[in-house]
Structure 1
Amino acid sequence: MIPNRFSFRPSRTTHASTLRLLCAVIGGLLLSGCGVVNHMVYKTTGDVMQGFSRNHTVPYLMQSDDVAMGCSMSKATAPLLMSFGRVTTEPDQLAVTLYLSAGGCAEEQAREYGLESLAAMNAMNAGEAEDAMIREKRAYAVAAQRYFSAWKHHKAYYGDVGSGECPDFDDDMDEFIYMAGLLSGLQALNAQIQSTSSIGVPTNIGSIVARATGCLSNEKWWGAPMALRATVWAMIPGSKPQGEDAFERLAIADKQGEEAGVRLPHVFHAIAALNKGDMAMVKDVIREHAKSLDEDEPNPDWRFVDAMANNMIVAISDQLWMENTGHRTPLGQLGSFWDDQKEDVETMSLDDLL
């Protein structure tokens, strides 16, 4: 029998090489498949977490009045939730609320350091006062960075803010986050100024915010859009339209906030008055705020915003008390001041009883 010259009988070596190659291919496919499956799992998890946080966690938090708890939550969960941007769409909208709240944490710490500095100056301790002042500026720098991050994510999600075109909002939470982003921009600029350093926050951000508030209903959002706009008018020379009075607008917004049970306009009014150097007006705003706390119930859907506003008013009151007395606002005395005229109290002479 004549062998077929074209037949091929593989050797044991060839068999081994082929088997190794086949194993390598199969292994590669399996590993690749695991990577694809993992990516799909991560992406699905990220989408679910983003949606749940936006539709349930944030609304739940807004119904709470525990500002400290919200602060802790934002700092603890921001890295986790933001990391899902590596496997799915960047959570820009959620980032606005996370970084705004985290910025508020740093700003609150800065205010505490500021009070410590004032207390040290009252005690004639120059070294301690200077150290607290340095810590205050560092904390404001952190706050500015976080607020600015919120602003950048806000622009990434909503586009060219303040351009004259308004986004098509999906629901109330969409509008609220839009407003929160505008607030973060203004807070970023303010914190940068307080830190006496520059982290790149543009100086024209106030004018951009003022224009962008026109996309929001003033009546629906407790007078806050107009209060935000009027604060910019009061603080930035040349930004006020002809015929407008920033402080009249702020007073109107105050009433809207009180009636709605969300007293955020009081904060803007007090900040504008502080910038003007009108301490009498600052005191009046704090008195009105304290009176409203007794007379107007907080909005149940936005308790967190109202509580946040109250914390900021208390912080302003504490600063005034510390500067003038060496201690914070006495417990239960928000709305009163060290130099208030005491009512005449009728006294009885003890000599008449002897």
Structure 2
Amino acid sequence: MTHFRNPSRKALFTARRFRNLVAACTASAILSGCGAVNHMMYKTTGDVMQGFSRDHTVPFLMESGDLAMGCAMSEATAPLLMSFGRVTSEPDQLAVMLYLSAGGCADEQAREHELAALAALHAMNGNAAEDAMIRQKRAHALAARRYFKGWQHHNAHYGEPGNGECPDFDDDMDEFIYMAGLLSGLQALNAQTQSTSSIGVPANIGSVVARATGCLENDKWWGAPMALRATVWAMIPGAQPKGEDAFERLEIADAQGEAAGVRLPHVFHAIAALNRGDEAMVREVIRNHAESLESAPANEDWRFVDAMATDMIVAVSDRLWVENTGHRTPLGQLGTFWDDKQEAVETMDLDDLL
């Protein structure tokens, strides 16, 4: 117990205690409010990042033809951008693009492993081939999980597709992201099948996607919606409506894509031909794609999509080359094949000049 002989000292001590109490209360109030302030700051940052990414980052990327940079960006930034869903609304639209691109990264790895396996088989190295096939399946499983996440975010934002109702699109980018989500769903099913494991992707996604493409303007999107729908018809028994021909539709879509400078329909055409086991048609699609690259530049607004289409066509070409020669498509020779007849070269008899 403190004793004060001098009343003034007692008053001074009381004042100090009061000040300390006020300071403690103030600090407590500030600290208790820090969480709310931080939450508001994080929410504002998240909203800004979401809006900026959708309105500027994605369009900027679509104007670029650098697939490797897009792949690296999606894998590196997805955790950061998706974490803002903890403090503000879930960035579902942005997630569609991020997981579609990240799934493509894993798919690219799977294709590399497949080529390694084919090369090993051509060299009669069974152990190396088996190891590469295992790595291929693992990469496909990762791709399936990523694509499926994109599909789930697509459905969270736009609603369940293929139910007869179409969303009201705000702008062209909104419509493009819708189409990207449909592609992500179809890719999820394809990757799951190739992984030979179950990721939980519903088997009816193909038919759902085919119906949902009716919400997209085919002419605006380079024939891709019709090409996607026709591919599903070609791959799923009984899916093709009466009076329709999937491969006629794919040829029409090819021409639309070539004219628009976004050759994505070629990819769907090649996939359908591969599923049919028609190598002659696959070669024709590859040749047409290579010729189109020479005659028509990529659409300036959608260079990334066109470059992605070319990358996938090169992958199909590489697969054929490696199976038959042990090496990939030679540089600068996309659209040619190992067994093409060489044009006769005119020779001169030098003896007559002597």
TM-score range, shorter chain: over 0.9
Equivalent position SS for 2:305: helix
Cα separation, 2, equivalents of 1:28 and 1:164: 56
Is 1:97 equivalent to 2:97 in the alignment? yes
Q: CA deviation at 1:304?
A: 0.3
Counterpart position of 1:222: 222
Q: CA deviation at 1:160?
A: 1.4
CA deviation string 1:204-254 (max 9, x = no partner): 000000000000000000000000000000001111111100000000000
Counterpart position of 1:289: 289
CA deviation string 1:149-190 (max 9, x = no partner): 000000000011111100000000000000000000000000
Counterpart position of 1:76: 76
Cα separation, 2, equivalents of 1:267 and 1:24: 68
Cα separation, 2, equivalents of 1:269 and 1:129: 29
Equivalent position SS for 2:117: helix
CA deviation string 1:63-121 (max 9, x = no partner): 00001100000011101000000000000000000000000000001000110111111
Counterpart position of 1:130: 130
Matched to 2:305, the amino acid is V
Counterpart position of 2:156: 156
Counterpart position of 1:63: 63
Cα separation, 2, equivalents of 1:179 and 1:94: 13
Counterpart position of 1:8: none
Cα separation, 1, equivalents of 2:64 and 2:213: 26
Q: How does 1:1-354 map to 2 (within 5 A)?
A: 25-349=25-349
Cα separation, 2, equivalents of 1:21 and 1:138: 62
Cα separation, 2, equivalents of 1:151 and 1:25: 50
Cα separation, 1, equivalents of 2:265 and 2:80: 33
Q: CA deviation at 1:33?
A: 1.3
Matched to 1:184, the amino acid is S
Counterpart position of 2:7: none
Q: Which runs of 5+ in 2 are unaligned?
A: 1-13
Matched to 1:67, the amino acid is L
Q: CA deviation at 1:308?
A: 0.4
Q: CA deviation at 1:268?
A: 0.2
Q: CA deviation at 1:297?
A: 1.1
Cα separation, 2, equivalents of 1:160 and 1:124: 48
Cα separation, 2, equivalents of 1:247 and 1:119: 31
Cα separation, 2, equivalents of 1:316 and 1:110: 13
Q: CA deviation at 1:135?
A: 0.5
Cα separation, 2, equivalents of 1:29 and 1:170: 44
Q: Which runs of 5+ in 1 are unaligned?
A: 1-13
Tell me the TM-score normalized by structure 2.
0.93
Counterpart position of 2:5: none
Cα separation, 2, equivalents of 1:203 and 1:351: 71
Matched to 2:79, the amino acid is P
Aligned Cα root-mean-square deviation (Å): 2.1
Matched to 1:37, the amino acid is V
Matched to 1:298, the amino acid is A
CA deviation string 1:304-336 (max 9, x = no partner): 000000000000000000000110001111001
